[in-house]
């Protein structure tokens, strides 16, 4: 069984990475002359931190709204009721949205098969009858608006459009009765009730209060309660759950509660990091490593922003060897074994992870963010290798490729990479004919953790003209919730493979975040997302600033948004996708408390390159939709995640049945293609 033991603290905080210096003074003011001095970049420290507050296992709206639900769970009578047409009740959850707005709770109580109406009960917090009345009025107004819109179309759904047969009425009634019975198990058991069996599940770790992760009324267990037809009650004194139901139901519920603990443990996993070295020419060896200043993407016109730099390692004092120091394929084979061990081990611990997972392989420039200061401006090669293995060392790979001139030539280089790349569509013959996809990513401020919304479009009519957005179709929309203390999703695997000759690196990056259902979104954000459109004219204008979002005004708390123009190809004879993206970030800063009063600053457009397998998103979709107490059914074997392709050759011409070694060989060819000078030729192809 995977190691899913709960680890943590009562507050839910993760341990922060601390530099084991001899004095805090040395940590604050490192001296280049001291070997033991370490430098920690402030931005890097912020990225290392995890959410300092416990996260619910499910996405719960607002703890202030739960007293109303607690009234219903304790069998209190509703504050008021209202009848809603059953077709509106089943097709639209607007009544639930209205209740969340007023911090009340609604649930169906009765159904009239003859009239086609469902009676909804409304509960408010104790003593807040006005909230219940406001909820009832808003639901009434919503029903009238819906019915009026139908009447304008000459059709009223209050009137039956088709009479149900006797069998249809019986099926509908049975479905309704099953739903009513299931909902009853979310409440406390009625007084005097008897049960076929009673089980006990002791909460396994005292460091985590169940209410902190399962909700104030243990809402996360509602699906377990309904699926097993059991009442589940927590006894604080003995830190145990009592399960009341049938013998088979209690047995199933105990297993699911154990799995719930595994799901909580999966959310507390720490990052697995490793920094590996790769040299493209195996016949050479460096004797020293120096630091080269790297300039981050900047905001045009902002001189202060140009000062933001990082340090990238570079090999020095190159010596030629006869191949005896390192076998020709020894390092690449060792790297493949380490990568497999790290990725497969972490994947084996994620079967119970409930949330969004994403695995990408990104090409960028390796920067050191927490490192020992060099003596006399450089490290010996042995000292540098040793530093990479120390637990306090930290590095990162840039999102952008890193060299502006090479970035600008990358698209032309890939369009000429016949034999290495193929179009994704069999209807496209040439790589240069591949049309881009367009993605917008927004970060909205929310007190429970920032919300990230991604929407992707593609052109369905390449010959379309004019400004009609109908020629662009929406490929996907998604929402995730980020940790309170971190803007990007949390890294679960961070393994980089760096070439010291030029500082370029492939990063194997597996990240996780909370998945968010649309019905759990704040109402204002859901409405805003519906109005995000693409401007076809601006989308086809693929140079200069990227600004294809149609008339976007951040009238809601918006931190930033990014626009991407991506060209997607397949690695030949495989299902790996190569995605070259031109992107631009914009930062939104509120000037006042007035909605929409923002200053928007744009960074310079840059290029990025990512590789991923088309099956990874399909596998991880199980985790995103994972029920409470369930387990994802994908296999954590290396052959599942890095399958062998049809070529079966490494770059040295040796046969291999190792899919990861095949991938690494292709990644090296791709890296050489992209990062060579814009005026060089690659394999007879002019890329400049």
**Per-residue pLDDT reduced to its tens digit, 325-358:** 444 445 677 888 999 999 999 999 999 999 999 9
User: What is the CATH number assigned to the segment(s) 197-266?
Assistant: 3.30.1370.10
How far, in Å, CA of 294 to CA of 291, rounded? 9
User: Residue 75 above 90 pLDDT?
Assistant: no
675: confidence class by pLDDT, cuts 50, 70, 90 = confident
- The two structure tokens encoding residue 407: 């970035």
Q: First CA to last CA across the chain, in angstroms?
A: 53
Span 194-245, pLDDT tens digits = 999 999 999 987 777 888 888 888 888 988 998 999 999 999 888 999 999 9
Span 428-466, pLDDT tens digits = 989 999 999 999 999 988 887 889 999 999 988 655 555
Identify the pLDDT of residue 325: 43
How far, in Å, CA of 642 to CA of 576, rounded? 9
Query: Please, which residues have CB within 8 angstroms of residue 89's CB and are 6 or more apart in sequence?
Result: 95, 108, 118, 120
Alpha helix (H) residue ranges in 230-329: 247-266
How far, in Å, CA of 358 to CA of 513, rounded? 9
Identify the pLDDT of residue 679: 45
Q: Which of 257, 273, 486 is nearest to 352 (CA)?
A: 257
Query: Please, which residues have CB within 8 angstroms of residue 516's CB and are 6 or more apart in sequence?
Result: 59, 451, 479, 480, 481
617-623 long-range contacts (CB < 8 A, ≥24 apart) are 617/358, 620/356, 620/357, 620/358, 620/359, 623/350, 623/353, 623/354, 623/355, 623/356, 623/357
User: Residue 422 above 90 pLDDT?
Assistant: yes
Identify the pLDDT of residue 34: 44
Q: How many CB atoms lie under 10 A from the CB of residue 294?
A: 17
Ranges of each domain in the chain: 76-184, 197-266, 272-686
User: Residue 137 above 60 pLDDT?
Assistant: yes
Query: Please, which residues have CB within 8 angstroms of residue 674's CB and are 6 or more apart in sequence?
Result: 363, 401, 406, 410, 413, 414, 609
What backbone phi and psi angles, to 5 degrees, belong to 584? Answer: -145, 130
- The two structure tokens encoding residue 204: 């396994």
Q: How many residues does the chain have?
A: 688
User: Residue 320 above 90 pLDDT?
Assistant: no
How far, in Å, CA of 609 to CA of 256, rounded? 41
How far, in Å, CA of 217 to CA of 210, rounded? 10
Query: Please, which residues have CB within 8 angstroms of residue 212's CB and are 6 or more apart in sequence?
Result: 12, 54
Identify the pLDDT of residue 353: 95
């Amino acid at each position: 069984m995977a190691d899913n033991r709960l680890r943590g603290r009562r507050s839910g905080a993760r341990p922060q990475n601390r530099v084991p210096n001899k004095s805090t003074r040395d940590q604050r003011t490192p001296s280049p002359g001291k070997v033991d001095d370490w430098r920690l970049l402030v931005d890097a420290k912020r990225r290392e931190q995890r959410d300092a507050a416990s996260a619910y296992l499910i996405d719960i709206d607002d703890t202030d709204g739960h007293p109303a639900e607690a009234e219903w769970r304790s069998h209190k009578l509703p504050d008021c009721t209202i009848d809603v047409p059953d077709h509106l009740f089943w097709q639209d959850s607007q009544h639930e949205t209205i209740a969340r707005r007023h911090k009340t709770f609604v649930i169906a109580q009765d159904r009239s098969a003859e009239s086609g109406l469902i009676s909804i009960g409304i509960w408010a917090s104790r003593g807040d009858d006005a909230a219940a009345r406001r909820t009832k009025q808003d639901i009434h107004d919503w029903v009238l608006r819906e019915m009026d819109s139908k009447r304008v179309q000459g059709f009223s759904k209050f009137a039956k459009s088709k009479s149900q047969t006797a069998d249809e009425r019986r099926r509908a009634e049975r479905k309704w009765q099953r739903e009513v019975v299931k909902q009853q198990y979310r409440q406390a058991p009625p007084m005097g009730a008897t049960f076929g069996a009673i089980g006990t599940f002791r909460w396994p770790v005292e460091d985590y209060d169940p209410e902190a992760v399962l909700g104030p009324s243990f809402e996360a267990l509602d699906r377990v309660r309904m699926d097993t037809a059991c009442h589940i009650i927590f006894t604080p004194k003995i830190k145990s759950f009592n399960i009341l139901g049938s013998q088979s139901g209690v047995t199933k519920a105990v297993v699911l509660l154990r799995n719930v603990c595994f799901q909580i443990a999966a959310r507390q996993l720490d990052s697995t990091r490793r920094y590996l070295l790769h040299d493209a020419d195996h016949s050479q060896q460096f004797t020293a490593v120096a630091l080269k200043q790297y300039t981050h993407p900047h905001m045009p016109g902002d001189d202060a922003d140009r000062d933001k730099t990082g340090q990238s390692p570079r090999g020095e004092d190159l010596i030629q060897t006869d191949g005896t120091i390192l076998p020709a394929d020894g390092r690449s084979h060792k790297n493949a074994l380490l990568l497999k061990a790290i990725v497969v081990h972490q994947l084996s611990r994620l079967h119970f992870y409930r949330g969004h997972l994403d695995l990408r392989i990104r090409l960028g420039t390796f920067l050191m963010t927490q490192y020992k200061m060099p003596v006399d401006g450089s490290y010996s090669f042995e000292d540098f290798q040793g530093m990479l293995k120390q637990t306090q060392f930290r590095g990162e790979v840039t999102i952008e490729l890193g060299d502006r001139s090479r970035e600008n030539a990358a698209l032309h280089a890939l369009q000429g990479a016949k034999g290495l790349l193929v179009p994704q569509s069999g209807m496209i013959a040439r790589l240069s004919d591949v049309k881009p996809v367009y993605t917008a990513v927004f970060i909205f401020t929310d007190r429970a953790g920032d919300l990230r919304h991604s929407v992707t479009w593609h052109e369905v009519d390449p010959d379309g003209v004019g400004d009609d957005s109908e020629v662009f179709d929406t490929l996907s929309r998604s929402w995730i919730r980020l940790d309170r203390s971190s803007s990007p999703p949390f890294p679960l695997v961070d393994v980089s493979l760096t070439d010291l000759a030029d500082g370029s690196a492939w990063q194997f990056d597996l990240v996780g975040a909370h998945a968010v259902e649309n019905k759990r979104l704040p109402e204002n954000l859901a409405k805003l997302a519906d109005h995000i459109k693409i401007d076809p004219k601006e989308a086809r204008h693929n140079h200069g600033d990227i600004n294809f979002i149609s008339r976007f005004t951040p009238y809601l708390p918006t931190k930033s948004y990014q626009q991407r123009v991506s060209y997607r190809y397949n690695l030949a004879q495989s299902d790996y996708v190569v995605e070259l993206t031109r992107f631009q970030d914009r930062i939104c800063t509120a000037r006042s408390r007035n909605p929409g009063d923002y200053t928007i600053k744009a960074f310079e457009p840059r290029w990025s390159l990512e590789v991923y397998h088309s099956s990874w998103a399909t596998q991880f979709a199980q985790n995103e939709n994972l029920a409470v107490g369930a387990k994802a059914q994908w296999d954590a074997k290396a052959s599942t995640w890095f399958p062998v392709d049809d070529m079966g050759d490494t770059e040295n011409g040796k046969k291999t049945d190792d899919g990861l070694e095949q991938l690494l060989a292709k990644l090296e060819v791709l890296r050489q293609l992209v990062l060579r000078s814009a005026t060089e030729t690659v394999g007879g192809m002019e890329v400049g």
